[in-house]
Amino acid sequence: MLLKLFLVGLGLGIAPLTAGDEHHRFVYSGFSNASLTLDGTASITPSGLLELTNGTALSMGHAFFPSPLRLRDSPNSMVQSFASSFVFGIISIYDLSSHGLTLLFAPSKNLSAIPVQYLGLFSGSNNGKTTNHIFAIELDTWQNSEFRDINNNHIGIDINSLTSLQSQPAGFFHDQNGTFKNLTLSSQEAMQVWVEYDREKTQINVTLAPLAMVKPRKPTVSAIQNLSDVLADVVYIGFSS
Ligand SMILES: *[C@@H]1O[C@H](CO)[C@@H](O)[C@H](O)[C@H]1NC(C)=O
Ligand SMILES: *[C@@H]1O[C@H](CO)[C@@H](O)[C@H](O)[C@H]1NC(C)=O
Ligand SMILES: *[C@@H]1O[C@H](CO)[C@@H](O)[C@H](O)[C@H]1NC(C)=O
Ligand SMILES: *[C@@H]1O[C@H](CO)[C@@H](O)[C@H](O)[C@H]1NC(C)=O
Ligand SMILES: *[C@@H]1O[C@H](CO)[C@@H](O)[C@H](O)[C@H]1NC(C)=O
Ligand SMILES: *[C@@H]1O[C@H](CO)[C@@H](O)[C@H](O)[C@H]1NC(C)=O
Ligand SMILES: *[C@@H]1O[C@H](CO)[C@@H](O)[C@H](O)[C@H]1NC(C)=O
């Protein structure tokens, strides 16, 4: 069976790129039991890490920031540019692979999801539907041909579907010479992910790097997608596994 523990130690911040919008900024450094809405196998460890799944087979867990995020100035106006980042580590308790985790933007904290290959995001009946209004970054440690996964260690930009709009092997481009360095998601090493959206270019950049590194200039994976056409007026940000 698929048995794995995910520990996500997090500082998560999200901030519009436009100046003077400081009231939209929030930053979490470590968690307490009060700061997140948890379900399934998700829990906060005594040291303040978010644990999404705990090794139970066929399990799933979600953690959401309790209040919705205002990504639009007013209903139906454009989704603003934003930048966010978080830190995670994947710790496997058995030497068997599992499916990974996502950072997600959704219209509700109660997703119609089932465990295992859907990463806690979707089910067989809603995967791929535009009515999901879900934007997610998947950190996927399993190659699933059903979703045309490129390998068992990739990072993908998902719009309403686990078949990623764009995906790349996990890793980063060196600033010095542009060469690509592979990273292993399930290496137990802490890594940082940056997610940026530019509303004029409708561009999403996602960059992965070891925790100690400054953000590489070239993103690991990038996609063009107008998020104004995807996200609902009410957006909850969270993690799923
Ligand atoms: C994992 O979480 C589930 C749901 O909270 C719980 O029933 C189960 O006992 C937990 N397993 C372990 C190994 O902690
Ligand atoms: C969260 O609650 C659990 C279960 O009550 C407890 O074991 C853990 O120490 C708490 N974590 C924090 C950071 O307060
Ligand atoms: C979540 O949604 C399902 C239907 O999709 C519903 O049955 C369930 O009661 C909801 N749970 C909560 C906590 O709102
Ligand atoms: C590219 O630069 C990095 C960092 O300086 C270095 O570790 C790596 O070996 C270089 N690769 C090549 C092919 O020059
Ligand atoms: C990175 O890993 C992929 C397989 O996922 C492999 O094809 C590629 O050659 C590796 N690149 C480097 C620079 O090691
Ligand atoms: C994405 O990365 C490219 C290449 O570095 C850069 O030109 C562009 O401005 C970036 N866009 C965002 C939204 O960060
Ligand atoms: C993105 O979509 C919104 C809503 O459909 C539209 O108003 C806006 O002009 C689009 N942005 C770009 C850059 O095409």
The CATH number covering residue 193 comes to 2.60.120.200
Distance CA 170, CA 53 (A): 21
Alpha-carbon separation of residue 153 from 8, 90, 144 (angstroms): 17, 12, 11
18 vs 149, which has greater pLDDT?
149
Distance from Cα 236 to the centre of ligand 6, integer Å: 25
SS3 238: strand
Distance CA 114, CA 64 (A): 17
Q: What is the mean pLDDT of residues 116-126?
A: 76
Residues in a beta bridge with 22: none
- The predicted pLDDT at position 94 comes to 56
Distance CA 179, CA 232 (A): 38
Q: Model confidence over 150-172: pLDDT tens digits?
A: 998 999 999 999 899 999 999 99
pTM above 0.85, yes or no: yes
Burial of residue 216 (CB within 10 Å: 0-12, 13-18, 19+) is middle
Q: Are 170 and 189 a contacting pair, CB within 8 Å?
A: no
Ligand nearest to the backbone CA of 79:
7
Can you tell me which atom of ligand 5 is nearest the CA of 169?
5
- The predicted pLDDT at position 228 comes to 96
Assess whether pLDDT exceeds 60 at residue 17: no
If one residue of 85, 135, 166, 196 were mutated to test the ligand 6 pocket, choosing by the most ligand atoms within 8 A of its CB, it would be 196
Mean of pLDDT over the chain: 82
- The predicted pLDDT at position 7 comes to 47
Q: First-to-last CA distance in the chain?
A: 16
Pick the closest to residue 105 from 71, 61, 149 (CA basis). Answer: 71
Q: Are 234 and 134 a contacting pair, CB within 8 Å?
A: no
Q: Residue 22's pLDDT band (boundaries 50, 70, 90)?
A: very low
The one-letter amino acid at 125: S
Distance from Cα 227 to the centre of ligand 2, integer Å: 36
Q: Is 44 left (phi over 0), alpha (psi -120 to 50) or beta?
A: beta
- The predicted pLDDT at position 128 comes to 86
DSSP state of 1: -
Distance CA 69, CA 74 (A): 12
- The predicted pLDDT at position 28 comes to 61
Backbone angles phi, psi at 163, to 5 degrees: -80, 105
Measured from the Cβ of residue 146, the count of other Cβ atoms closer than 10 Å reads 11
Pick the closest to residue 103 from 212, 10, 33 (CA basis). Answer: 10
Distance from Cα 98 to the centre of ligand 5, integer Å: 21
What domain range is 187 assigned to? 3-240
DSSP state of 12: E
- The predicted pLDDT at position 217 comes to 97
Can you tell me which atom of ligand 5 is nearest the CA of 181?
13
Pick the closest to residue 232 from 120, 106, 73 (CA basis). Answer: 106
- Total structural domains within the chain: 1
Residues 91-123 as b or e (16 or more Cβ within 10 Å = b): ebeeeebbbbbbbbbbbebebebbbbbbbbbbe
Q: Model confidence over 122-132: pLDDT tens digits?
A: 877 888 889 99
Q: Whose CA is nearest to atom 6 of ligand 3?
A: 110
Assess whether pLDDT exceeds 60 at residue 57: yes
